[in-house]
Amino acid sequence: MVTQKKLESLLWHGWQLLCVLTILLCLTLSSVLCAKSPSKQVMVVGLFSGKAVVIINNKQFLLRANGKMINGVQLLSSNSERAVLLIDGQREVLTADTAAGSIGQAVKQTKKVQIWANQQGMYLVQGRINGAAASFMVDTGATYVVMSSVEAQRLNINYKQFGRLSRAATASGIVATYNLEIDKLTIGSIYLRHVKVAIIEGKHPQRILLGMSYLSRIRMESKGRSLMLIQH
C-alpha cells in the first residue's frame, strides 16, 4: 500500500525528471535552429554568355566562366537565361529571378531600357550626365564609367579640381586618370546618383564607356542581340 509520504516523493521525483527533459529538449531545438542559419547569400542580377553579375553577401562581382573563385563562389557556365555556379563546393543553377540564400528587397517600380547591338556587336545608347546629352557604349569589362578629357570638358566636369589622380591599364598601356563621382547619370528612364567615373587625358575613348560603376547597380538581361537594363 502506497502511503501519502511515498506518493509525494514519487510526484517530486517525477516533476524533477520532467524539468530535466524539458531543458534537454530546449537545448536540442536551439542547436538545430542555429545549424539552419545560412552562411552565404548569392543572387544573380546580370546574365551573359560566359559572364554573370552576382551579388555575394550584399557585394557585387563580375564572374567569368571557369575563372577564379570569389568568396567560395565560382561561375562554371552561363548564358542569357541561367548561370551554373559552384557555391562552397555545391553546384547550383540560378536565373536572374532566383537566389541561393535569403536576400530580400522592397518592391519598387521597375524601369527598363532595351538596347540593340549594332553590326559590330556593340551596344550603343544615348543618355545624359548631369542633364547634358552624351553617347555611351556598354562595356562590362570597364570598372568605372570612362570618358576622355575632351568629353569631360564638353560636359563641364571640373575633373582636375575634384578628381583624384590615379592610373589605369588600357590597350595602349598604363595611362593617367582622374577619378571622381558625377552627380547623376541617366539612360532612358533609369537614373543613378553619385556614379564613379574615370577620365583619361586626350580624345579617347570617343564614346563614353558605360562601365560597372553604373551597370553593377542595376540588372542586365541579354537575349540574342538585345540587352535589357532593369532597375527595380
CATH of the domain at 84: 2.30.30
Domain count, the chain: 2
- At 6 the pLDDT is 52
- Residue 142, classified by CB atoms within 10 Å of its CB into exposed (0-12), middle (13-18) or buried (19+), is buried
Cβ atoms of residues 73 and 152 within 8 Å: no
- Whether residues 55 and 95 share a domain: the answer is yes
- Whether residues 119 and 221 share a domain: the answer is yes
- Whether residues 175 and 142 share a domain: the answer is yes
Give which of 73, 96, 67, 99 is closest to 86, Cα–Cα: 73
Q: Return d(Cα 56, Cα 69) in angstroms, integer.
A: 12
AA identity, residue 126: Q
The DSSP bridge pattern shows strands 173-187 and 124-129 to be: antiparallel
Return per-residue pLDDT of the chain as tens, 232 residues.
545 555 455 444 554 554 444 444 444 433 333 323 345 788 888 888 899 888 888 888 999 999 999 999 999 999 888 899 999 888 888 876 555 654 333 334 688 999 999 999 999 999 999 999 999 999 999 999 999 999 999 999 999 999 999 988 777 788 889 999 999 999 998 989 999 999 999 999 999 999 999 999 999 999 999 999 999 8
- At 169 the pLDDT is 77
**DSSP string for 12-23:** HHHHHHHHHHHH
- At 69 the pLDDT is 92
Distances from the Cα of 173 to the Cα of 163, 167, 170, 176, angstroms: 21, 10, 5, 10
- At 134 the pLDDT is 96
- At 46 the pLDDT is 85
- Whether residues 217 and 126 share a domain: the answer is yes
- Whether residues 135 and 224 share a domain: the answer is yes
Cβ atoms of residues 159 and 139 within 8 Å: no
Question: Is 37 domain-assigned?
Answer: no
Give which of 108, 112, 136 is closest to 190, Cα–Cα: 112
- Whether residues 115 and 227 share a domain: the answer is yes
If you search the block for the grid coordinates 527598363, which residue do you land on? 112
pTM of the model: 0.60
In terms of residue numbers, what domain contains 96?
42-100
Question: Is 14 domain-assigned?
Answer: no
- Whether residues 116 and 219 share a domain: the answer is yes
Helices (H) then strands (E): counts for the chain:
4, 17
